[in-house]
Structure 1
Amino acid sequence: MQKYLRATIMALSVSALPIVAMAKPVQALVYEKTTVNVKSLDFDEILNRVYQTKPLAVPAALQEISKAPKAIIQARSEEQREYLLSMLPVVTYKNTAGETRYLVVVQKNNYYDGQIMSCRACSPNADMFIFKQIDKRYYLVSATFDMEDLPGGNGELKLDLTQVNKNMQPFGKELTGSYFEAEFSGAGGQRSSGWYGLLLREQEQIQLVFIGDAGGDTSSFYADRPEMAWTTTSTLKVMPNGAAYYPIQVTYRGIGGKLKKAEISHKSFVFDTKNNVFVEAKPIKK
């Protein structure tokens, strides 16, 4: 059954889960982060001081999509491309030194002729910023623009800030991070999910990275053949060991077919600093 469990997770994940690579910084905005400060973390202030641009009017129909504050801006490039920016709620957390930090996430959709350019499997890009507060002003600590290939669909990020808040913790000796589970559905009704890590580096790039498969459910896909269906869930645990990046352990619980008792398995993931990705650790031979 171990082989069946591994094969099922792989089949669920290969076509549905985006692999998040290192974010690529935008080249249009160049400034010293320490000189950028804002009087508040309101969206208008972020637009004015960080993006340094005057937004265009947002059509009423787009304003009604969600309660998130929105703006349309023009990219500083030859293409004169436009983006619809949507700011997510600010996340307040403590870094490994116990200092308060503020994470600002801005969803970034391609926009053209009054329409959001999107599709069922399309995910928007994102810009992420970390601020610290000094004397009633907020100073930019880290900024990463145009993060690509993020978990999402239908033009919306699958970034659960409730999970991010709950799971905020040290991800390394001097690194604060968090993790969340994002779920995806296939054309045949099967569901799969993946674990993603948010690495909140200071004075460096912020990174949202795929950790590993979280699970899946094929009961809808095999509705006419329930004996073939399989359900997998998992839990994730960060394993502090004093290293720059802590290893991660995922415990899987799978059940299906003729099994009367769930099958339990474990996987460990370590951070590959050369390629900036999590990879599955090879089991130790006894």
Structure 2
Amino acid sequence: MKKLLLSLALSLSVLSATPAIAAAPAFSVSQMAQVKIKDLSFKEVMRQFYSGQMRPTSVNDEYIESMPNIGLGQVDSNGARIVALMHPMGLYDNAKGEPRYLVTIEKVIVYDESSEYCESCGSKADLYSFKRLNNGQFQLISRTPESVAFYDRWGTMNLQDNDIQKTIQLLGTNLVGSVFKSGYMTLGETNSWWTVLHLPENDFINVYALGDAGSDNDGQDDEDSPLYYNYEGIVKVMPENAAYYPIILTYKGIPPDDPERPNFVNKSFVMKFNPVKKVYETTSSFAAL
């Protein structure tokens, strides 16, 4: 996983990050505006967007039971089923300072009445942004075109509403979003990566990989070991007169002793969003930084 992340974020030629979801249909402001619901309760949201898919379900899992939940679709031949969870409401301001409401419906895989323990599969989520109308109804502003994947060791999403609200900021002249960190620990090694959430009002909501956020093997080797490493990737959004602000990714710390990886520590990389490819990328090489 770490070599893959580094190859995406720290290539000597063109550094690019693969978008989290596939190509989406054309966005339509007028079509979004046609969706209006009386409130943002679990009942109203699920009936609006998941009509005909909902099934009764019974789980015995603390995480799932901590939020409103319901089954989606049928149990497959392996006994797996999808359970939808509604996270607490997220309140934020758009680029004009107008209040918006973020609804997050997480989808987890359940086996034998517990969340699936699967390091590689993680969970998915549908995100919806609403504004409140004068009559008290809520009008859809934007949404993810399809479920967005959030990868986490325990099969549940790293993206939490509190984290979003703490890190909401301008990411462009007319764009707000969040830069957040995900990660996991396994066999004494900690790995993490940066992801960018875009909350536009003229396009679909989406998340994009930014790059490696750091790694260490504190649980494997002592600091005096030649194999010890511990580094972090620090992000800084650089406001300028542009639709998408550049994000500087700087690495500090002790790099791993790995000849397959370039010497990236104590160097910075300017990551820019490519709206055509829908990726964050940079053409800067190490020698130019």
- Normalising to structure 2: TM-score of the pair? 0.78
CA 1:89–1:25 in 2, change beyond 3 Å: closer, same or farther?
farther
Q: Once the 2 structures are TM-superposed, how far is the Cα of residue 145 of structure 1 from its aligned partner?
A: 4.5
1:121–1:153 contact (8 Å) kept in structure 2: yes
Match of 2:121 in 1: 122
The within-5 A match list for 1:124-203 is 124-135=123-134, 136-186=136-186, 188-203=187-202
Paired residue type of 2:179? Y
CA offsets, 1:245-285, max 9 Å, x none?
A: 1100122221379xxxxx63322111122221111341595
Match of 2:220 in 1: 221
Q: Once the 2 structures are TM-superposed, how far is the Cα of residue 229 of structure 1 from its aligned partner?
A: 0.6
Paired residue type of 1:179? V
Paired residue type of 2:196? G
Match of 1:269 in 2: 271
The within-5 A match list for 1:41-56 is 41-53=40-52, 55-56=54-55
Instruction: Give distance in 1, aligned partners of 2:88 and 2:165.
Output: 11
Instruction: Give distance in 1, aligned partners of 2:181 and 2:255.
Output: 22
Instruction: Give distance in 2, aligned partners of 1:277 and 1:149.
Output: 16
Q: Once the 2 structures are TM-superposed, how far is the Cα of residue 120 of structure 1 from its aligned partner?
A: 2.4
Specify the SS of the correspondent of 2:57. Answer: coil
Match of 1:279 in 2: 281
1:23–1:205 contact (8 Å) kept in structure 2: no
CA 1:69–1:249 in 2, change beyond 3 Å: closer, same or farther?
same
Q: Give the total of aligned pairs.
A: 263
1:142–1:204 contact (8 Å) kept in structure 2: yes
Paired residue type of 2:123? P
Paired residue type of 1:176? V
Match of 2:20 in 1: 21
CA offsets, 1:220-265, max 9 Å, x none?
A: 23359723211112321111111111100122221379xxxxx633
Percent identity between matched residues is 27
Paired residue type of 1:122? C
1:98 equivalent to 2:97? Answer: yes
Q: Once the 2 structures are TM-superposed, how far is the Cα of residue 53 of structure 1 from its aligned partner?
A: 3.8
CA offsets, 1:182-227, max 9 Å, x none?
A: 12224x3211111110001214211111111111112223359723
The within-5 A match list for 1:204-243 is 204-223=203-222, 226-243=225-242
Specify the SS of the correspondent of 1:107. Answer: strand
2:231–2:251 contact (8 Å) kept in structure 1: yes
Instruction: Give distance in 1, aligned partners of 2:165 and 2:36.
Output: 24
1:25–1:147 contact (8 Å) kept in structure 2: no
1:21–1:277 contact (8 Å) kept in structure 2: no
In structure 2, runs of 5+ residues without a counterpart are 10-16, 75-79, 257-264
More displaced, 89-98 or 61-70?
61-70
2:194–2:213 contact (8 Å) kept in structure 1: yes
Instruction: Give distance in 1, aligned partners of 2:274 and 2:118.
Output: 32
1:175–1:244 contact (8 Å) kept in structure 2: yes
CA offsets, 1:12-54, max 9 Å, x none?
A: 8459x9954235659xxxx932121122211111011232347
In structure 1, runs of 5+ residues without a counterpart are 1-8, 76-80, 258-262
Specify the SS of the correspondent of 2:122. Answer: coil
2:210–2:271 contact (8 Å) kept in structure 1: yes
